[in-house]
Amino acid sequence: MNRVLGLGNALVDLLMVVEDSFVESLSFKKGSMNHIDIETAKDILKRSKSIKKSRVTGGSVANAINGLSKLGVQTSYIGKIGEDEFGTFFHDEMAENGITPHLFKGKQGTGTAICMISDDSERTFATYLGAAIELTSEDLYYELFKDHTHFFLEGYMVQNHELVESSLEFASKAGLVTAIDLASFNIVEENLEFLQKQIKNYVDIVFANEDESKAFTGESDPEKSVKILSGYCNTAIVKIGSKGSIVIDEKGKQHMIDPLIAKPVDTTGAGDFYASGFFYGLSMGLPADKCGKLGSLMASKVVEVIGANIPESEWDSIRTEIQKIV
């Protein structure tokens, strides 16, 4: 039976709909992702005290693993949380969703991502990583990886070279199919040589958007970029937003995947749920083009809700649509 293991930044997302002026008052560029310290996080929450917020488990790979679990795939997750209310919430949400949580305890508080959603669905993030970045290679051991079939690594972890290399070595030793989402173009640029080496040596599947693929390959044309990217791994996926995605499979065949029509409210989790759909297809033994179509389906569903948390009432219809593809 297929079982997917994820490793990433364990964060609690705090979601709120705001005016553009609120983002401007914080001196953030609209649509940006900003790392902040605990004092800045407290200040933002104080300023937004009157704004309604929702709370969900977050982090790129955690979102993908949650989506997979909802589709019935056995999943596990490695991360680090604080000994606080948010940490308890993160653990309990994962367990309730049927995910096996391997959550180590850090000295700092649980990481939080304050997500400010504008009227046009654009997201601006203020992220306090907290305990999430205390996860180290010393926390990992072989038994965490064995008895799984796939390993999904969060690109935001790449700044910790030792952790990334150790996790990929364990996954390789355990014989897992390994995937990574490149996460952010600036992280790719800052760690390019390391990333290229690790992907070439250990990674089977790479997910990237246009900017990340360009940062990795130096090529701005997605069709040219995905071909270069496929030279580093068995399967390369470049997501091109409203134009869909391009997949090159292990045989070198290119597939253009059309997007599905959606009414976007918030694009949080679109790439993460694309990965959920793709992994679900892999777990069913489906070819890459159908995996891509499942990815597009899942992405189209999550952008129609606030945050990366599709309501329970929607999952039966999603499973019905999936059956039309598989």
Residue spans of the domains in the chain: they are 3-10+59-106+130-325
Mean pLDDT in residue range 6-27: 94
pLDDT value of residue 82: 97
Q: How far apart are CA 36 and CA 125, in angstroms?
A: 10
CA-based nearest residue to 279, from 76, 1, 3: 3
Kindly tell me if the per-residue pLDDT of 83 is higher than 80: yes
* Confidence label for 262 from pLDDT (cuts 50, 70 and 90): confident
- Checking if the pLDDT of 234 tops 80, the result is yes
Taking residues 12-40, what's their average pLDDT?
Answer: 91
Mean pLDDT on 178-185: 92
Average pLDDT (261-265) is: 76
Query: What does the buried/exposed string (b/e) look like for 226-256 if buried means 16 or more CB atoms within 10 Å of the residue's CB?
Result: bbebbebbbbbbbbbeeebbbbbbeeeeebe
Looking at residue 290, its pLDDT comes to 96
Region at 71 (left for phi over 0; alpha for psi -120 to 50; beta for the rest) = alpha
Across the range 87-98, mean pLDDT stands at 95
- pLDDT reading at 186 higher than 90: no
Phi, psi of 91 (to 5 degrees): -60, -50
Lowest mean pLDDT segment, chosen from 103-107, 145-149, 306-310, 318-322: 306-310
Q: Which whole number is the average pLDDT over 178-195?
A: 92
Q: Which residues contact 281 (CB under 8 A, 6 or more apart)?
A: 290, 291, 292, 293, 294, 295, 326
Nearest of 204, 205, 222 to residue 213 by alpha carbon:
222
CATH assignment of 3-10+59-106+130-325, among 2.60.40.10, 3.40.1190.20, 3.30.1120.10, 3.90.650.10: 3.40.1190.20
Q: How confident is the model at residue 220 (pLDDT cuts 50, 70, 90)?
A: very high
Over residues 217-237, mean pLDDT: 97
Answer yes or no: is pLDDT of 107 > 80. Answer: yes
Closest by CA to 204, choosing from 272, 142, 278, is 278
pLDDT of residue 269: 81
Residue 316 has pLDDT above 80, yes or no: yes
Give residue 265's pLDDT band: very low, low, confident or very high (50, 70, 90). Answer: confident
pLDDT at 183: 81
User: What does the pLDDT average to over 244-273?
Assistant: 88
Average pLDDT of the residues of the chain: 93
What pLDDT, on a 0 to 100 scale, did the predictor assign at position 31?
81
pLDDT of 54 over the 90 cut: no
Which amino acid belongs to residue 24?
A: E
- Tell me: pLDDT of 318 over 90: yes
pLDDT at 185 over 90: no
Give percent of the chain with pLDDT exceeding 70: 99
pLDDT the model gives residue 168: 98
Q: Does residue 1 register a pLDDT over 80? A: no
Residue 305 pLDDT more than 90?
no
